[in-house]
Structure 1
Amino acid sequence: MAVRPYWRGYLKLSLVTCAVTLSPATTQGEKLRFHTLNRKTGYRIHTQYVDAVSGKAVDDDDQTKAYAKGEDDYVILEEEDLDAVQLESARTIDIDEFVESDTIEWVYYDSPYFVVPADEVGEEAFTVIREAMAEADVVGISRLVMGGRERAVMLQPWDNGIILWTLRFGDEVRDENEYWKSVKADKPDAKMLSMVEEIIADRTTTWSETMVKDPVQDRLLEIIKSKQSTKRKTKPQKADQAVGEPQSNVIDLMAALKKSLEGKPEAKKTPRR
């Protein structure tokens, strides 16, 4: 079921403009959420902001944002200071640049949103922009104010619509070379490489949503259901290996690969969607 749009505004490319809506492409609505209770009374516990020195609760009107420039030394930002940096990209996604679709590293991708025309009048302009990007195999780069802060966004043609990805800021993305430099670049043994390729081929199947199911949440739901009908405490299942028990010795890599191939599973059937 479609949810209410998160944002309404305009998609613009040069002189072509159309009204559009944004809706989150993902949801946490099915995720289990827990409340914290007072075990003695059974009542919910509420959190409060308290003064670090006096320990007293602080009213909403007395709470303000501040930047720490030193120990116990802050610069207070008032609402008018925050409003002063708001930009005009609050209501218009103005595409001013395009890049090849496969040139943005996945680590920059943040949150996805569905972009669709807001009315029939704008459908033709929306379709033209989408199809032109698809034909050129490019994605559009723009900026949009979301959550009180301007974000760089990427617009990607997808089926009959467009996916808008918010992009992480440059200072949020770490340099992978700092991590890869510790990995040896030597070529692997040709025989072992061939064996691993064979294992991969045997286990290659068709993507299915069942691959990303959450078994932990399913088990929690079972426990919650059982507690609704009985007061018995659910005993935790024993782990296969006791805590502190030493693990078996690491098997030689080549031996492990041979063992994997010996127990080669039958060809997987394409899972039902």
Structure 2
Amino acid sequence: MQPPHDLPEKIGPYRVLGRLGEGGMGQVYLAASPSRRLVAVKMIRPELLDDPHWRARFRREVASARSVSGFYTAAVVDADPDAELPWLATQYIHGISLAEAVREKGPIPEQAACHLGAGLAEALIAIHRAEIVHRDLKPSNVLLAGDGPRVIDFGIARPLDARPLSRSTIVGTPAFMSPEQALGEAVTPASDVFSLGSTLVYAATGTAPFGTDRKTRGRIVHRAPDLTGLPDPLRGLVTLCLAKAPEERPTPEQVLTALSTLLDAHYGEEWLPSAVGELIGAQERTLAQLTAELTPPHE
């Protein structure tokens, strides 16, 4: 989390405290409401607004995020897609991204990976119940919190009944997209299951199953995944998730059942490894410094 420096003072009614990150569409800020509730506010990049496509796309993101309810997603608090600089505020999750956790501390243990997979499956159930395909499930869009993972960022989510994009318009993150997405074909909820499988491989091994270079999309379509280092209890399920044919993949409900059975049989309730907990603790200390000024000394 980056402290205030060249940041907007306010976005809508929210006072900006720091920068949480950025993506292709915009910046994400930590902010506080007038009642001092913490939120994460995503604001679209000014240079994109000359193209009406981006404002329309942001409206779709707001609509998608608002339609999803579930414990393993971040709830929408407020939004103004028609503002001069459109923004979306969601519940602030006290955690760090899976990408940061693996980058800083290495792959997560087998037990934590099983808990992660179960949480992601439950998130996908909620997302698909809202008749949406996320299309960008990846480590940087998964937050690890003390009470479980959260799926964030509906920037390229699409309704189930949306018309397929043209083959020249392939969106998503190559290392974690499905074969049909890599080919520019229609995507279904099964595409998100493929991405879940790739994300679990990354979490448990530290590497994406099809690599991250310019040939990644070709390997996703034509090659078997590299599952080196993936713990045996996860290998069979992940292999099914990474089936090339969408109809051969399990549903999120089946993934959840399989991982819940595995957790009941072999593991306890402990979820986050201590090393990741330390990263969250360090972030919370930074958060405390940023928010200290919100409370006057006499309170």
| TM class, shorter-length | under 0.3
Which structure would you say has the larger Rg?
A: 1
Higher helix share: 2
TM-score, structure 1 length as denominator?
Answer: 0.25
Higher strand share: 1
